[in-house]
Amino acid sequence: MKRHRWVLVLAAAAVVAGGPPPLAAQPAASGPARIKIDPDRVIGEVHPHVFGNFAEHLGRCIYGGIFEEGSPLADADGFRRDVMEAARGLGVTLLRWPGGNFASGYNWKDGIGPRDQRPVRRDHAWDAIESNRFGTDEFLRYAERLGVEPYLCINAGLGSVEDARNWVEYTNEAGNTYWAQQRRKNGRDRPWGVKVWGLGNEIDGPWQLGHKNAEDYAKFALEAAKAMRRADGSIKLIASGSSNFGPGADWVGWNRTVLDRLRSEIDYISLHTYIGNREGNLEKFLAVARDLDDRIEVVKGQIQAVRVGNPKARPIHIAFDEWNVWYRTIAPGMTESEIAATGLEEKYDFADALAMGMFLNSFIRHADVVKMANLAQLVNVIAPIFTNKDGLYLQTIYFPIAEYAKQRGHQSLDVLVESPQYKPDEGRPLGYLDVSATYDPKARQVFLNVLNRSEKTDITARIENAAGAPSGPVNVWELNHADLKATHTFGKDSVVRPATRSTSVKASGNGFEYTFPKHSLTILKW
């Protein structure tokens, strides 16, 4: 059956879904830019889980990516050592597993016990064969070895409440119960202590196995949450929020129902976003920030709406648990099987690397509500790390993510930005400069993250800090390349690399001037 699949492609939806032609981008307006920060104006802590990631049983993400039994590059557990090292360099803090769409047809009990006795199954989410050689214990051992928080997503599609509850018992029970005994038999005495659990994946999407309407999903998720919490009262739960932004999809209504029914059980609601640059129009591509900000703010308002007036209301945050650029290996009307046949092996270019800054700026600007964000995915499948059997290379998108991740734990600041504007489409104009800032109060260090979306114009900004101008040199990290389409491959992954330098600035009053080159991502630190 041909299933139409409407992954969110935000503003670029017009491109993917064949919407009206855009207005031509206008040249940069003249006039100075101004960026003003104030370390007292804190939005919230940038939670370390904003640098989360995702590994799904799909294409070569697990098999041939993080896990390759018998490979000389793998350790005794079958984990690829080179991939693990690259994941460390990326600053990954949390890993979501086993899907994705795969989760909605997955029986976790198939993936435990002696590997050679595990059943081989058909995976109907991606029309693939699943060997089940990588299962719960392998994943949790991997996460432990990598030093990241594991996040398990239950099967809320074809699965049952009981399966979900038993999974929590298998991983977290310290007593002598049946499932704890099974875990011990499989080599793990101590509970794994999995804290983060997703109540299903993209259940609002018709492409999902076991797709439900909002009411039916909320009923299932409420019972699953209740039963899972009885197995372990300390777990954190993520409701499956909107991911279907296709024509006619009521994403706001989905979230409203889910939040209303699950408000006293969940800790997060998820959002998913994939964007595309099919037209090869950089300024339009990077204008998606507008929609990203808008959607986060809509969901933030929806969360507030179910909490207002109740001082005991449970705090709920957004888990942006799938995000990335994805358009080369997907097109409207493709079936899951056709998509899977591509392996989702996107080859990222320099323009995509700039989009990483746009996503991360938006998450940081919303640090009060976005407390988790998972790049989809870690390796080979729409991923910053790309392997073959002899090694790997780092894609262009790897470098901005790794650098932003170093700012983890810092406070996000509310920044005033005045920038020359442009009109990428029929929507409201937006500034060429896309900005976020974080502050480390202990080190008294400011990080200013600036994306210049203009393809043609360098922009000079006066940067003011209410706490005073920098007293010493400013450290510059800059990602730029003359060719927006520059890509990496095996043996050639130094094409798009950041340049770093320390520069002295001429301070006047409480600020200084800095010129952000066209199509660049810059992080200033002082």
The residues annotated as belonging to the active site are 202, 322
Query: How is residue 495 written in tokens?
Result: 């094409």
Quick one: 288 or 463, whose CB is closer to ligand AHR? Answer: 288
User: Smallest distance, Å, CB 348 to ligand AHR?
Assistant: 15
Q: How far apart are CA 239 and CA 448, in angstroms?
A: 33
Q: Which residues contact 309 (CB under 8 A, 6 or more apart)?
A: none
Among 123, 169, 173, 202, binds ligand AHR (CB under 6 A): 202
Dihedral (CA of 47, 136, 185, 169) sign: positive
- The tokens describing 10, both together, are 């935000």
Give the angle 68-73-77 at the CA atoms, nearest 5°.
Answer: 55
**Residues in Cβ contact with 160 at an 8 Å cutoff, skipping those fewer than 6 apart:** none
Question: How are beta strands 385-388 and 391-394 bridged, if at all?
Answer: antiparallel
Shortest distance, position 62 Cβ to ligand AHR, whole Å: 12
Closer to ligand AHR by CB, 193 or 343: give it.
343
**Residue nearer to ligand AHR on the CB measure, 250 or 455:** 250
> Residue 196: which H helix or E strand, with range?
strand 196-199
Query: Which residue in the set 322, 346, 352, 464 belongs to the binding site for ligand AHR (CB under 6 A)?
Result: 322
Rounded CA separation 99/376 (Å)? 10
Query: Using CB atoms, what's the residue nearest to ligand AHR?
Result: 100
Handedness of CA 435, 438, 439, 445 (dihedral sign): negative
Q: Is 273 in the site for ligand AHR (CB under 6 A)?
A: no
For ligand AHR, the binding residues in 344-383 under the rule CB under 6 A are: 376-377
Provide the minimum distance between the beta carbon of 157 and ligand AHR in the complex, in angstroms, as a whole number. 11
Work out how close the CB of 308 gets to ligand AHR at its nearest, in angstroms, rounded to a whole number.
31
Q: Supply the minimum distance, in Å, between the C-beta of residue 101 and ligand AHR.
A: 4
Near ligand AHR by CB under 6 A: residue from 53, 101, 131, 449: 101
The footprint of ligand AHR on this chain (CB under 6 A) covers a number of residues equal to: 10
Contact between 396 and ligand AHR per CB under 6 A: no
Closer by beta carbon to ligand AHR, 105 or else 357 = 105
Say which residue the tokens 């099967």 belong to: 155
83 vs 463, beta carbon nearer ligand AHR: 83
ω into residue 198 within 30 of 0, thus cis?
no
User: From CA 42, how far away is CA 466, in angstroms rounded?
Assistant: 13
Kindly list the strands in the beta sheet with 416-418, ordered across the sheet, starting from the edge strand earlier in the chain: 416-418, 33-37, 459-465, 511-516
56 lies in the binding site for ligand AHR (CB under 6 A): yes
The answer to whether 52 contacts ligand AHR (rule: CB under 6 A) is no
329 touches ligand AHR (CB under 6 A): no
Q: What residues line the site for ligand AHR (CB under 6 A)?
A: 7, 56, 99-101, 201-202, 322, 376-377
